[in-house]
A and B are shown apart, each in its own frame.
Chain A
Amino acid sequence: MSARVSIGLAAAGVVALFAALWLGPTPLANPFAGDEATRTIVWEIRFPRALVAWIVGAALGLTGAALQGLLRNPLADAGVLGLSGFAALGAVLAFAFGVATLAPLGAILFAFAAALVVTMLGWRTRGPASLVLIGVGLSSFAGGLIALALNLAPNPGALSDLVNWTLGSVEGRSMEHVLLAGGLLLAGAALIFAAGRGLQALTLGEEAAAAIGANLTRTRTLVVLGAAACTGGATAAAGVIGFVGIAAPHLVRALAGHDPARLLLPSALAGGALLVSADIVVRLLPTDAELKLGVAAALIGGPVFALIAARLASRGGDQ
């Protein structure tokens, strides 16, 4: 069942990517026409942009599924562990100190720093509730420092850069961003998939999982570091984009089942297709200034997620 769902979601992603080449603010009769303007628009502007959207969506979806499995909490995502908050903080500090070219690196390094803190404290405390509490603390701390950077912005231009970046966007992204986010998605996915068996065992509860020989410390470390790689890459490429990490696993759970290991790939594929589709909507909206993808993801995803949650609750399930 999971394989069929994955194939279907992969196909949906390919269709969305193809549509992203065709649809945009500039109407194109044939996106594969040979003239230079069309080739530049399709292959240098739309293709990398759509690929970045897919990679970021996949990274966030995969991270959400892995963390929901690890923490056995259906509301978990990179934000809950403070990873996305710290990634955002890393980039914001680069802006604030006038070295914004280092913002992507800052996002990645700070995501790993948060992962390190969560993992180290997690070793001591054990228990998913403690990990969530540590993450919430880190997230609040990062939020406070970001607000401080906004508060102390030296001029309206810097303030505008900071605010725009925190809204999340894939506008104007190039293959440079594809390589950055794609490389980190591959590394993060390798770590997270290596923790698949541990995530499966965790569905029995921590004590039972340990009793059947699951190495919980290894599972936690792999998932948290993998989530940091995915979140750092996604944030470095597109800024802060919320909601996909929570929504994607929920969207596929009804089709792919509740096994966290089997949810990983479908969640990644769903996240990718979801964000590419959201980006197409953003590009086609008849607004003077393009709506930011992070804003659109929340505007579309919020009500959809609430509807799904309400439907699940009415069926008596809350996972």
Chain B
Amino acid sequence: MLALQPDLVVRSWGGPWDAAQVYGRFGVPVLQIDGAPSFDGARAMLLSAADTLGHPERGAIIARDLDLRLARLAAAPAPADANVLYLTAGGAVAGRGTMMDALIQAAGGRNLRDAESWEVLPLETLVQTPPALIALGFFDHGRTAMNAWTPGRHPALRRALAEAHTVSLSPAAISCEAWFAIDAAEAIAAALRAP
């Protein structure tokens, strides 16, 4: 890294846990991009990154667009049944304190999982309390095939998915917890209000 003599290191994960200090000792500034559990956090991260990269005006334009789209979602009429479950092909569901929870709320939905953070899909809960909408992440992008033990392969889940109202979210919108998750929020909002 030092041999490349970078002006700036943009990092997310991997490498030393104290990368900022390590690179800082050698005079290399580090822009740490972390996942944000809310649109407020994502907006702040966006502006900070744009500033550090020397393009504050571009960051401001994207932030204004984000604000506009969030306001449009907030103004939309409430859906009749708003229970939403976000499920990945690996069998993880999102609870409180995650960007997925934030985008479900932004879409006018109510996250069926009220526990904190991520957890493995509770199959029994899904069977007993089916959500109005299941938002699917990475189901059509090879994740189903990634794990032979994932609950995503369970026959009970496959049947539940066949009978449920689902929306497949674009991996580009949900791969990272950032401002572009607004695309996924809009997809959920549209699916919740679809006839």
- A41 with B90: CB separation less than 8 A: no
State how many angstroms separate the Cβ of B162 from the closest Cβ of chain A: 13
B130-167 Cβ-contact flags toward A at 8 Å (1 or 0): 00000000000000011111110111100100000000
Distance of A172 Cα from B124 Cα, bound (Å): 10
Segment among A99-107, A125-133, A261-269, A298-306 that sits at the interface with chain B: A99-107
**What is the minimal beta-carbon distance from B141 to any residue of chain A, in angstroms?**
12
Partner of B145 from the list A24, A100, A172, A177 (CB cut-off 8 Å) is: A100
**Do A157 and B90 have beta carbons less than 8 Å apart?**
yes
A: number of interface residues (CB 8 Å) = 31
B128 proximal to A (CB < 8 A): yes
Taking A44-B155, A45-B154, A290-B120 as contacts, is the C-beta distance between A173 and B149 under 8 angstroms?
yes
A101 to B156 alpha-carbon distance, docked (Å): 19
Whether the pair A172, B91 counts as a contact (CB closer than 8 A) is yes
- Interface flag for B127 (CB, 8 Å): yes
How many residues of B are in contact with the other chain, CB < 8 A?
28
The one of A44, A169, A288 in contact with B149, judged by C-beta atoms closer than 8 angstroms, is A169
Mark out the residues of chain B between 2 and 16 whose CB falls within 8 Å of any chain A CB in the assembled complex. Answer: 13
Q: Does A25 touch B at the CB level, under 8 Å?
A: yes
Q: Is the CB of A100 within 8 A of B120?
A: no
* Docked-complex contact B145 and A101, CB < 8 angstroms: yes
Q: Among B95, B127, B148, which residue has the most Cβ atoms of chain A within 10 A? A: B148
B122 at the interface (CB under 8 A from A): yes
Q: Is A239 an interface residue (CB 8 A)?
A: yes
- Determine which of A26, A100, A156, A171 lies in contact with B146 in the assembled complex, contact meaning CB atoms within 8 Å: A100
Contact residues of A with B, CB < 8 Å? Answer: 24-26, 37, 40-41, 44-46, 95, 98, 100-104, 156-157, 161, 165, 169, 171-175, 177, 239, 288-290
